[in-house]
Amino acid sequence: MSSLNNIYGQLATSSNELLNEESSSEVPRLFNELLGLSIKTATTRPFLYSWLKQQRGRLRKMRRTIAADAKLHIRQRPGWRCAMLTLTYAPERQWESGHLPKILSAIRKYLKRKGAELRYLWVLEQTKQGCPHYHVLVWLPPSLEFPMPDLRGWWPWGMTHSTWATYSVSYITKYASKCNPRYPLPKGARLYGSGGLSGAAKIESNWSKLPPWARGLVSRSEEYYKPKGGGITLKVTGEILLAPFKAVFKHGKVEMVKHPSISMLGTI
């Protein structure tokens, strides 16, 4: 499946363009040329479109989530300043999953010594040349200056650039909007992340990550968890909520099949 994802990534100029009716007639032809196979349009289009819609939905969720978390950080710590940090890799360095946690750990220790907690958001972006780099927002008390990561050796895999953000929400959503399924991320990489929220803000942040059908059934202040087997369980009442539909692979394409009309199965 990963090889197919790479093929689709090369084909897609952007998910929005390929899902536009004006360019839809070009999709099967380009897809066939890329694969070098003779595939019927009737079987090619639904499968390709299903993948593109999945990627577009993933990006929509990312943009919605990071915008909500940025606003919650500002609401919890009004008056704090936001530092913008860009982390790039040197040409001879390769991305690894442990790199970002290491610099976040170093920043956390620095802030702890200064009597402050770490509050952050990050987005991973892939360039056209296939080089991943991070955009990180870190909120600091007005009295603190952001240290230079390069001088402290916090990012030995390349270079960093930091400045102050006046409009932190606009900054992070701008880079989230630049993410494109045409340029696949490294295996095991995540698109975005957030940390430092607490109390009611953390609960509301978790609510913003729910799918649309669940946000209509769960209030912003309710705590929940996702049990094995799917669905959502409310912690206080024990009620189990199921999605009103499920994805089924049938006749070479993905179809959404409705569940029974009752989405609440019971209590535990």
Concatenate the DSSP letters of all residues of 225-261 into one string.
E--TTSSEEETTT--EE--SEEEEEETTEEEEEEPPS
Domain ranges of the chain: 2-56, 60-196, 210-266
Rounded to 5 degrees, φ, ψ at 120 are -150, 160
Fold of 60-196: Alpha-Beta Plaits (3.30.70)
pLDDT value at position 179? Answer: 58
pLDDT value at position 252? Answer: 63
pLDDT value at position 260? Answer: 56
pLDDT value at position 34? Answer: 39
pTM for the predicted model, two decimal places: 0.70
- The whole-number mean pLDDT for each consecutive block of 10 residues of the chain, a chain of 268 residues, reads 42 40 42 40 51 69 85 91 92 91 96 94 81 90 90 94 80 62 73 90 88 86 84 88 75 65 41
pLDDT value at position 103? Answer: 96
Rounded Cα distance, 234 and 85, in Å: 37
pLDDT value at position 190? Answer: 85
Taking CA atoms, 72 is separated from 54, 62, 148, 205, 210, in Å, by: 27, 15, 26, 8, 16
Torsion of CA 251, 255, 261, 262, to 10 degrees: 100
263 three-state secondary structure = coil
* Contact (CB, 8 A) for 224 and 234: yes
